[in-house]
Amino acid sequence: MEKAGKYVIAIVIAVIVRWGWQVLNWVWLKPKKLEKCLRDEGYKGKKSFVWIGPNPRVYIRDPEMIKEILSKPNDFQKPHPEPFRDSIIGGLLVTEGHKWTKHRKIINPAFNLQNLKTMFSDICSSCSEMVHQWELLTTKTGSTEVDVWPYIDNLAGDVISRTAFGSSYEEGRKIFRIQKEQIELLFNMIFILYLPGRR
């Protein structure tokens, strides 16, 4: 009986040591190894990374590298930790392979230089209207403090309405209100802590 007790204790100790080693590897050793690899690749300053728990998230700011990454969608896979959230986001942010290529081909012509030149007058009109609204606010007192965020937000919607649909922001207000609600819900979902197996 005493011998069986020693075996049980040995097994429990072995399980605890193995579990402790796995936790140590997950929390410290593997992240340190990843950090060394990233630093050896030159990820500091212009190319950088931050830690989200034990996982590094790489940030690329160099336009040439971004262009290379976007031109090779099969080499750079996107993480999909939340299938439900990904189904809400949709589009180029989460699609892969053939679907990504199809979406990219649909969107690409809109950002052609010639198309952007034709949009310039619409963008100027929207900006002029926003500045005119600010001028109206300052006519009585000469100066005033203004929360510019709602104006900038409306400017973005107005530019999109004019350039994409040929209408003003007022006409597209209902659609943009719904989109804002969707974006707020999406951001709420993004910051919910993901726990494996909770679904």
pLDDT in tens, 92-109: 666 777 777 787 777 777
Question: What gap in Å lies between CA 172 and CA 156, rounded to an integer?
Answer: 12
What percent of the chain has a predicted confidence (pLDDT) above 90?
5
pLDDT in tens, 121-160: 888 888 998 899 888 888 878 788 888 888 888 888 788 7
**What value does the mean pLDDT take over residues 19-35?**
86
Q: Domain spans of the chain?
A: 2-61, 112-190
Say what the pTM is: 0.43
- Contact at 8 Å (CB) between 137 and 146? yes
